[in-house]
Amino acid sequence: MDANQNPTQGDYFVIKAKENGVQVIGLTRGHDTKFHHTEKLDKGEVMLAQFTAHTSAVKIRGKAIVMTKHGVLDTEE
C-alpha cells in the first residue's frame, strides 16, 4: 500500500527555517494541483511533515534547510 491509499505510509521530510516568514506550501494530490495549506515558520522553527493522500507536492519559499530521504538541501544554494 502506498501513500496514495494510506496516509500514514508517506515519506517524512524536515524543514528548518533560516529566516522569519518561510512558507511551506502543500499542494493537492490528484487531477487538480492546488495549494491547500500554507504554514509559516520563523527563524529556527522546524517542521516535520509527510507526503499524504492529500499532499503530493510541497513548495518552500524562503531560506531554509530541507531534509528528505534524497538528501539535504539549502534553498539558497
> Residues in the site for ligand TRP, rule: CB under 6 A?
7, 24, 26, 37, 39, 49-50, 52, 54-55, 58
Q: Which is nearer to ligand TRP, 24 or 64 (CB)?
A: 24
Q: How far apart are the first and last CA of the chain?
A: 35
Q: Which is nearer to ligand TRP, 19 or 39 (CB)?
A: 39
Chain centroid to Cα 12, Å, comes to: 9
Q: Which burial class, exposed, middle or buried, applies to 43 when counting CB atoms under 10 A from its CB (0-12, 13-18, 19+)?
A: middle
Smallest gap, in angstroms, from Cβ of residue 13 to ligand TRP?
A: 8
